[in-house]
Structure 1
């Protein structure tokens, strides 16, 4: 026994045994971040592909990079993004090669049923744009969720062979420990697989505790439903006569529509949350080939007639329509509907 020595990995595990863990609250917070942020990301991808896209409720795990390399399908496509303001850190969005090929085929005018397995420059550009759109929408949702102005650098998209940890950047692999948020990715009868968001352990805890400190993870108060007694709702057996006096009408509690002071205070917390208001003149869909052909002087025809009302959106949600007006030297919009 005296001659037996612990390996360096065993020593590191003992030293970090009490440190490297996510509390249940932190896991819930990360799941909530993933659910809200990439819920809007899936909407962006759906609009881009013109197909129904679903990201089901995420699951959160703690993993080391080596285990991640062993478990995830090889190779895969990854988009790495750095946060510049609001949050400071890096994360990695990963999809399987087949899923990326389907996305590229749809964006390049195909139907996704026979994607090109050999991803060339054009296919990788299409996949990169799709992942950029998802990550961009996710960061916008994080801004609202954290009540911070979250800005990101342009994501870097590449193929990971997933043979060793040296393929990961220093920002991802420096602690050799990551939080992994798994989503089930569904693209209308074409894709049913996993999408994965990889966040370095320290940054994951920072994100989770930022949300916890904001009080956004408190579960809503459960609602109680009054039900009738079993004897009152079950039919009488055949040949049995029920005593009329034993059947009583259901008594419902009187609903109180007044808002107490605590609820009013909670609502007041939302009044200072900044929201992004935008006005959409129109939109259109173009293939990547057509976009690459654009140059100075090119005219893009939109799906809206001249003089038609414009859409007014709050955080991407349509709330009203209006007319474009000029206020001094600036454009404005007058709400009409």
Structure 2
């Protein structure tokens, strides 16, 4: 400091906190709420995928405990154990973006062995072409089932492209042609268990843009693009003569019997011939019982109808449904002595009681629903 004034270097030093250079604050890619929402969506959709895989390999499969984080493909290559098999699909409608499902080769070998009729004990750590094809089909069914579950959550159609599978054998292998190694991606890691054979992890990789799109749909903040037909419609309305617009507004407000005055030609209204009005004639009513059954009823007597019996109903939230397992007990909203509902093609027609006939369950009809109840059921 000279002559009572501060130099520019001293001013910069004071502004920077005594010589300490302020580091730029890194913007958070996903908030905690967005991570929780992606984890819950992944939990539900992968729960549906585990059901599909369980049906294919005839083993109990659980895919749970999602953990959401932000990473890059380069970081995965440096830290994740290889080899792996990756299945890449694209969302083509409902959601636009990439989606990768990555599984360890050892876990994929167990799935391939079960699909080919084995006991799940895989001896080789390398997959043959047939085994790769089998695992790819299983993963394809998993992603397809997950997409169907997402379509239900989003209330829209979600379609995916044909999958592309590849083996990730070393760090130099390319995992995706559309995602850069240094690009930020969203990693959703799940715990995968297959009976007593597998207790491992499976990964779902999403670009940040796709993850943000999914979050915006669930939170109701999705921005819809303007339609192309909006602008021509506006131009067309603007191009109308002002006199025409005033006349249309005037017509909507009240009905006038006077001929509107306008600056353009109107075709004169032609007189219509008088309409003859006659009194309606009805046939006399006959025997109601005899006319209740149509004469051509034989044409539909052999039409099959689906009959189902409803023992009871209940309502549970998603948390309770996901916690169900073998041996779980679901309590219905109907007492043991109450009659069960008998439905024909989904419509309630009668009530009855459950009986046993030759080691099979049956239902004895105790009452037929009234006409008012039947009409109400049809309206529902």
What range is the shorter-chain TM-score in?
0.5 to 0.7
Match of 1:189 in 2: 196
Match of 1:93 in 2: 101
1:129-168 maps to which residues of 2 (within 5 A)? 129-164=137-172, 167-168=174-175
Match of 1:120 in 2: 128
Q: Which range moved further: 168-177 or 87-96?
A: 168-177
Q: Which range moved further: 23-32 or 114-123?
A: 114-123
Give the alignment partner of residue 207 of structure 2, picking from 200, 204, 229: 200
Give the alignment partner of residue 23 of structure 1, picking from 31, 34, 37: 31
Compute the displacement of 1:16 (Å).
8.6
C-alpha contact (below 8 Å) 2:166/2:175 kept by paired residues: no
Match of 2:57 in 1: 49
Matched residues in 2 for 1:16 and 1:131: separation? Answer: 40
Matched residues in 2 for 1:111 and 1:336: separation? Answer: 46
Match of 1:104 in 2: 112
Q: SS at the partner of 1:167?
A: coil
Residue by residue over 1:259-287, the C-alpha shift from the partner in whole angstroms, topping out at 9 and shown as x without a partner, is: xxxxxxxxxxxxxxxxxxxxxxxxxxxxx
C-alpha contact (below 8 Å) 1:75/1:97 kept by paired residues: yes
C-alpha contact (below 8 Å) 1:90/1:200 kept by paired residues: yes
Distance 1:16 1:80, change over 3 A: farther
C-alpha contact (below 8 Å) 1:75/1:161 kept by paired residues: yes
Compute the displacement of 1:57 (Å).
1.9
Distance 1:173 1:39, change over 3 A: same
C-alpha contact (below 8 Å) 1:53/1:188 kept by paired residues: yes
Matched residues in 2 for 1:114 and 1:61: separation? Answer: 31
C-alpha contact (below 8 Å) 2:90/2:98 kept by paired residues: yes
Higher relative contact order (CA 8 A, sep 6+): 1
C-alpha contact (below 8 Å) 1:91/1:172 kept by paired residues: no
Q: How many residues align?
A: 212
Matched residues in 1 for 2:65 and 2:177: separation? Answer: 30
Give the alignment partner of residue 83 of structure 1, picking from 91, 94, 106: 91
1:36-75 maps to which residues of 2 (within 5 A)? 36-75=44-83
- For structure 1, list consecutive stretches of 5 or more residues without a partner in the other structure: 1-13, 216-306, 312-321, 324-332
Residue by residue over 1:282-325, the C-alpha shift from the partner in whole angstroms, topping out at 9 and shown as x without a partner, is: xxxxxxxxxxxxxxxxxxxxxxxxx99799xxxxxxxxxx99xx
Compute the displacement of 1:17 (Å).
2.1
Q: SS at the partner of 2:345?
A: strand
Compute the displacement of 1:114 (Å).
3.2
Q: SS at the partner of 2:65?
A: coil
Matched residues in 1 for 2:198 and 2:305: separation? Answer: 38
C-alpha contact (below 8 Å) 2:37/2:215 kept by paired residues: yes
Q: SS at the partner of 2:171?
A: coil
Distance 1:123 1:309, change over 3 A: farther
- For structure 2, list consecutive stretches of 5 or more residues without a partner in the other structure: 1-22, 223-303, 309-341, 349-380
Matched residues in 2 for 1:119 and 1:310: separation? Answer: 48
Compute the displacement of 1:122 (Å).
0.8
Larger radius of gyration: 2
Matched residues in 1 for 2:305 and 2:107: separation? Answer: 39
Matched residues in 1 for 2:221 and 2:101: separation? Answer: 25
Q: SS at the partner of 1:157?
A: strand
Compute the displacement of 1:174 (Å).
7.0
Match of 1:250 in 2: none
Q: SS at the partner of 1:173?
A: coil
RMSD: 2.8
C-alpha contact (below 8 Å) 2:86/2:175 kept by paired residues: no
Matched residues in 1 for 2:134 and 2:307: separation? Answer: 29
1:306-325 maps to which residues of 2 (within 5 A)? none
Matched residues in 2 for 1:152 and 1:26: separation? Answer: 23
Distance 1:62 1:119, change over 3 A: same
